[in-house]
Amino acid sequence: MKIAIAADHGGFELKEQLRERLTTFSLTDLGTHSADSVDYPDFGASLAKRVASKEFDFGILLCGTGIGISIAANKVKGIRAALCHNTYTAEMARKHNDANILAMGGRVVDIELATQIAQTFLNTAFEGGRHARRVDKITALE
Ligand code: RB5
């Protein structure tokens, strides 16, 4: 399973910490590579396009709140980015929504919770069935 991770300056520190924690996964770091101020849509769109093209199976996006970068990612066709603040929403994002990008806020969740959220997201499968019909309706909106 190939996973890409990216952040703006608001998520930079959490990205660095997650890279150290998520060692059982194949993680590719798409930046940013310092705490200098950058624009979250650039990083959200760049990663999202590479997930949409199937270069990566899943993405993890981090900004200060997780809001801006998830909004940007969701503009890319084929992307379902879910902003999660706990393990329950991460589990449901995969089981019910077949989310392909996890977004979190570096100023919202600490590294312990973020690690649990990411592990839950990456280890949970889509349930399909009635949920596939609903996800198909989301795709039809694109
Ligand atoms: C940057 O200050 C901040 O606005 C950004 O990281 C994010 O929280 C936007 O949604």
The reported pLDDT for the residue numbered 16 is 98
Q: Looking at ligand 1, which residue's alpha carbon is closest to its atom 7?
A: 64
Query: Per-residue pLDDT tens for 63-117?
Result: 999 999 999 999 999 999 999 999 999 999 999 999 999 999 999 999 999 999 9
Helix (H) or strand (E) holding 53: none
Q: Looking at ligand 1, which residue's alpha carbon is closest to its atom 5?
A: 64
Residue 84 catalytic? no
The reported pLDDT for the residue numbered 132 is 98
Residue 96 catalytic? yes
Tokens standing for 84?
């999660």
**Residue 128: Cβ-neighbour burial (10 angstroms; 0-12, 13-18, 19+):** exposed
Q: DSSP letters of 56-94?
A: SSEEEEEESSSHHHHHHHTTSTT--EEE-SSHHHHHHHH
Which three-class secondary structure state does DSSP give residue 6? strand
What is the spatial distance between Cα 19 and Cα 6, in angstroms, rounded to a whole number?
10
**Residue 112: Cβ-neighbour burial (10 angstroms; 0-12, 13-18, 19+):** exposed
The reported pLDDT for the residue numbered 113 is 98
- What separation in Å is there between the alpha carbon of 18 and the centre of ligand 1? 19
CATH of the domain at 62: 3.40.1400.10
Query: Per-residue pLDDT tens for 21-53?
Result: 999 999 999 999 999 999 999 999 999 999 999
Contacts of 14 (CB under 8 A, 6+ apart): 7, 62, 104, 106, 109, 111, 114
The reported pLDDT for the residue numbered 32 is 98
- What separation in Å is there between the alpha carbon of 134 and the centre of ligand 1? 30
* Whether the predicted model's global pTM rises above the 0.85 cut: yes
The reported pLDDT for the residue numbered 68 is 98
What is the spatial distance between Cα 46 and Cα 20, in angstroms, rounded to a whole number?
22
The reported pLDDT for the residue numbered 86 is 98
Domain that holds residue 89: 2-140
Kind of pairing between the strands at 81-83 and 26-29: unpaired
Catalytic residue from among 9, 63, 84, 131: 63
Q: For a pocket test of ligand 1, which of 69, 75, 108 has the largest count of ligand atoms closer than 8 A to its C-beta?
A: 69
- When pLDDT is averaged across residues 6-34 and rounded to a whole number, the result is 98
- The structural domain count of the chain equals 1
Q: Looking at ligand 1, which residue's alpha carbon is closest to its atom 4?
A: 64
Tell me which residues have their CB closer than 6 angstroms to ligand 1: 8, 10, 40, 63-65, 67-68
